[in-house]
Amino acid sequence: MYLKSLTLRGFKSFASATTLKFEPGICAVVGPNGSGKSNVVDALAWVMGEQGAKNLRGGKMEDVIFAGAGERKPLGRAEVTLTIDNSDGALPIEYREVSVTRRMFRDGASEYEINGSRARLMDIQELLSDSSIGREMHVIVGQGRLAQILESRPEDRRAFIEEAAGVLKHRRRKEKAQRKLVGMQANLDRLNDLTAELRRQLKPLARQAEAAQRAATVQADVRDARLRLAGHRVVELQKELNSAESQARVLLEKVEIVTEQLEEAIAQQAEVDDLLAEATPHAESAQQLWFELSALAERVAATQRIASDRASSIQEVPYSGPDPDLLENKAERADREYQELAESAEIARERLEAILEEVLQLEEVSSAAEQEHLAQVRAIADKREGVVRLLALEESQRKQVELAQSEVSRLNETSQDSSRRLRELVNEKTTVDESVSQLHAEMSPLNELYRQTTTESETSEKRLEQLRVQRSSIDKLVSRLESRIETLTATMQVPTKENALAGLDECVPIGSKIRPHPGAEKAVSAALGRFTEALAAVAFPTEVLNNIDTNSVARTIVVTSAGSDDWRMDADLPSGASWLLDHIDMDRDIHGAITRVLADVVWVPNIGTGQTLIDQDPRLRVVTSEGTMLGQGWAELGSGGYSSVEAASHISAAESELAVARAQLEELSGALEGAQHAAAEARVAAARATAALKDHQHRISEAEKDSFRLQQQQDVLEQQHRQATEQCTKAESRMNRLQEEWEEIKDRLDRASDDDVPEEPSSVARDQAASALAHTKSMEMEARLNLRVAEERAENAQGKGEGLRRQATYERQAKIRHEQAMELRLQKSRLAATVAEGADTLAQRVSRALDKAATEKSLAIAERTRLAAQSANAKDTVNALQNQLNRLSDTAHASEIAQSQSQVRLEEAQEKLVEQLGVPIKDLLRDYTPESDFDVNAERARLKQAEKDLSALGKVNPLALEEFKALEERYDFLSNQLADVEQARQDLGGVIEDVDAKILQLFTDAWRDVEAEFPKVFTTLFPGGEGRLILTEPEDMLATGIEVEARPPGKKVKRLSLLSGGEKSLTALAMLVAIFRARPSPFYVMDEVEAALDDVNLRRLIALFEELRKDSQLIVITHQKPTMDVANVLYGVTMRGDGITRVISQRMSPDALAVVQGES
């Protein structure tokens, strides 16, 4: 067996189909680095089942697919086919040539084939494992594998020997058996639990089965006794019904005779009633006319009295207010007085102004005299002190004046600049303040709009929420009503079990034709009894009854009577009691039948009243609002489900409520839709108003910030301007003062130089000027006082004239209004006189009409009285006949009721028999009709004893027998299954023991052979060195690991980590070659295993290759020329710039040369 060929399609760098045809012996694959040589090794490992992407030098398995290069696009799949020559039958398959194919797609899907047939990965691995090729791939020694062998754990090294010895398939069998054993143990535990539970249940169930068998026998005796007693009861009820039917026929004939007499009397009464009906409206209209005319006469008389009183009570009244013309004259006099006073005030003002001018002149004269006096005093002093000091003082003062002038100029400029800046700032702040004022003015309508839209939005939301709550409430009400109608309708369904009437269109539930008044539903349902579930077939009663197969129909009441019957029993009813028929509305086609059923039923307020009424008249039955029925010696009470009559009444009420609710729901839906639109619009409007308000508030805030900032700047500038102005003013004052002092010094200097200066100053002129000024100021005070008095008098006079003029205007308007009112009152007086004259004429006409109407009223009332007497006589005759007919009808109806009651009792007994015993009436009467010697008491005693025996048995499980048999069968089945599982478990344990023995034998034999070969191979590679393999746990051959000891020649180290790279490679190769010799494989793949060896060690390794070539095929990836020299075939691998691998092969034998090239 050897590898015959390898075909690659889209695998890594092999883009196109490339086939490598191998030969026995050594096949060397050569080529430059990166050309794709190792991809050949990866392809071999991949096609033989390698599952680790890292072992294939990739990150994920999809990396083996050609990824594209240059202009070649990526491929969608990778495929490798390995063809093996199986001529020697090494593979357990009946083919001389075996092809193994592996295919992978971009989506991760994989396919495996053996000779073109679909296979599983496990199939390929098991096929190759028989040739000592397993998942460890010890026959493929890739790059870095040698170091991995030495650095791996002892247990991992054991796997190489196991794979070569063919142990892996046995280990898989053992693992599979162990997994089955674990699963089998869970099933075994479950079976044990089930069988234990069944054993616990069997004993009590056996006792229940025995009791059920005994109960079945007793129940048969109970049923037989009940059937015999039921047959006796049915026969007795049939006899009672036949007797009641004969009595009813006789009474009905008498009722027909009296009915004819009553109809004649009723016809006569109808004629009189017609005449009375014609006379009554005439009398009533005549009386009404008399009443209306009497009222009209009274109203006319009252109108006449009122009009006369009003005409005589109105008189002309003159105006009593003051004369407006006199008031205007007084106002003119007041105006003239004011003019005079104003002229006097003006004269006083002119005199004051003249005095003020004189005061100013005298003040100037007095000041000049004072200055002159001071100058004379200083001149005398200066002359005494000398001129030199004045000259120095004048020069100093002149310099101070010049400095003061410079300071004033500077401060003036500063003040003007601050004033200009202040004006600009004031203008800017004025503009901003105006903007703020305008924004505040615009804020009010925005606030109003915001409040309005917010209020509208809140109102809309509240209205919307109210509508939603109302709609939800009505939705719930509709759902409840629909559910109630559906439930009540279900209770009204016609029974369909063995009922041929259910499918007939002519039959309808009687409940749909009866409508009890509110509050009477339970009473009507109780009184009708079984008739509540009756059917009405009044359209074609004969055809319906003839077409029914009574054998297939459950017992049912069918109402077939048409027409109406208003007959009532003759009985005196106490206060609060009334005939039940008066509280029922029904269709006319069932009126007669229902009337006969309920003619003797009285509706009473309570049981006490009903019992009293029954004691007085035993013929009657009474019923209360709660549905309690009472009769002579019996009572029926209790609660139950709705009858069809109650259900129909409740359905009708619910449908009415449902219609109203749906109408309200439609109205609310429209209102809700409108409210939603309104709410949405209100929300949008509110949002817009809010946004506008916030934007406006932001603008106001910004403007106010600007205004505040400008105000602060203005305050600062005003402060600076005030300071500059004050400084300027002070500087000017100082400059003026200095200049005055300078002028004064110059004047003093001039005076000091004058020789005419007297020795002492004169004060006469100064005193004269002061005296004149004081006199003039006293005159000024007097003039001011006169001016104030004149102005006050003028102001008082001016106000008085205006007041008189306004009073005159008001009085003139009041006089005009009084004249208009008097004219209107006179007009009303004339109108009232006219009305009084018309009312007198109308009163005379009304009086004549009233007399005529009184006469007609008397005649009409007399005629109506006569006809009423005739009608009363006819009514008495009808009542007498009616009473006679009622008595007969009561008797006949009582007989019919007795007949109906007998019929009902018979039907109830039959229905109860069918429901409780499940035996049709015909079968009962056929099989259980009592004989003449039938003993009822003995049969009842028999039934009682059987029921006693059945009660003594207690509660019985009727299904116990069937359950016991089923449980017993299941227990037997599970017991057998448990035994089978136990046996299978033991068999699996034996299989595992056999597999362990086989593994132990195969591994032990392989270990001994490998242990013997390793020193030989090691000494071949390391002449003079020592090496051996050691078991880590010799006592446990199934779990032991393998340690390697190697000591190259000239070294005493035994630790593998202290060896050089080449020594490590040779040691690993020594172990592999020992395995190859001990358990040869058909082929081996070496990927650059000699890369780290020198020429001497390379020659030694090649010698081992040549030795292995005798029994196995070697595929070697190499760069070493010596290795190429010993190869039988060379495969040249190259890669151009397009990134695609190409292969060229050459057979190295001298007699033949072949070149095969594959491109992609």
Helix (H) or strand (E) holding 953: helix 936-953
- Distance from first CA to last CA of the chain, Å, rounded? 30
Was 1049 annotated as part of a binding site? no
Would you list the DSSP string of 852-911? HHHHHHHHHHHHHHHHHHHHHHHHHHHHHHHHHHHHHHHHHHHHHHHHHHHHHHHHHHHH
Q: CB of 696 within 8 A of CB of 442?
A: yes
**1007-1013 contacts, C-beta under 8 A, 24 or more apart:** 1007/161, 1007/1031, 1007/1037, 1007/1042, 1009/1077, 1009/1078, 1009/1079, 1010/161, 1010/164, 1010/1074, 1010/1075, 1010/1078, 1010/1079, 1012/1078, 1013/1073, 1013/1074, 1013/1075, 1013/1077, 1013/1078
Is 883 flagged in the annotation as binding?
Answer: no
Q: Quote the tokens at residue 1025.
A: 């060195």
Asked if residue 1015 belongs to a known ligand binding site, the reply is no
Binding residue per annotation — 406? no
- Is 409 within any annotated ligand binding site? no
Which tokens sit at 682? Answer: 């209100």
The two tokens of residue 449 are 């709009």
Q: Are strands 535-536 and 514-516 parallel, antiparallel or unpaired?
A: unpaired
Cα–Cα distance for residue pair 627/587, rounded to 1 Å: 23
**Which backbone phi and psi does 1145 adopt, to 5 degrees?**
-115, 150
Helices (H) and strands (E) in the chain, counts: 19, 25
Per the annotation, does 34 bind a ligand?
A: yes
- CA–centroid distance for 633 within its chain: 64
Q: Would you say 592 is a known binding-site residue?
A: no
Between CA 798 and CA 792 the distance in angstroms is 10
State residue 628 phi and psi, 5-degree precision.
-80, 125
Burial status of residue 766 (CB atoms within 10 A of its CB: 0-12, 13-18, 19 or more) = buried
Environment class of residue 1081 by beta-carbon count within 10 Å: exposed (0-12), middle (13-18) or buried (19+)? Answer: buried
Measured from the Cβ of residue 341, the count of other Cβ atoms closer than 10 Å reads 20
Strands (E), 735-882: none
Q: Strand pairing of 140-141 and 1083-1087?
A: parallel
Given a contact cutoff of 8 angstroms between Cβ atoms, the answer to whether 772 and 348 are in contact is no
Instruction: Provide the CA 311 distance to its chain's centre, in angstroms.
Output: 82
Cα 639 from chain centroid? 43
CB 1085 within 8 A of CB 1115: yes
Report how far residue 291's alpha carbon sits from residue 510's, in angstroms, rounded to the nearest whole number.
54
CB hemisphere CA count around 754 (13 angstroms): 16
Can you spell out the DSSP letters for 151-201? HS-HHHHHHHHHHHHT-HHHHHHHHHHHHHHHHHHHHHHHHHHHHHHHHHH
Which SS3 state, helix, strand or coil, does residue 1045 take? strand
Residue identified by tokens 């006073």 is 341
Tokens describing residue 168: 């892996």
Please state, in angstroms and rounded to a whole number, the distance separating the CA atoms of residues 195 and 972: 9
Tokens coding 16 = 């196109």
The whole-angstrom separation of Cα 102 and Cα 93 is: 19
Closest by Cα among 409, 397, 393, 400 to 732: 409
Annotated binding residue at 1060?
Answer: no
Structure tokens at 946: 């059987």
SS3 816: helix
Residue pair 558/502 in contact by the 8 Å Cβ criterion = no
Which two three-digit tokens encode residue 162? 């196991």
**Locate tokens 């690991």: which residue?**
1041
Two tokens, residue 732: 């000017």
Q: Which residues does the annotation place in the binding site for ATP?
A: 32-39
Q: Which residues does the annotation place in the binding site?
A: 32-39
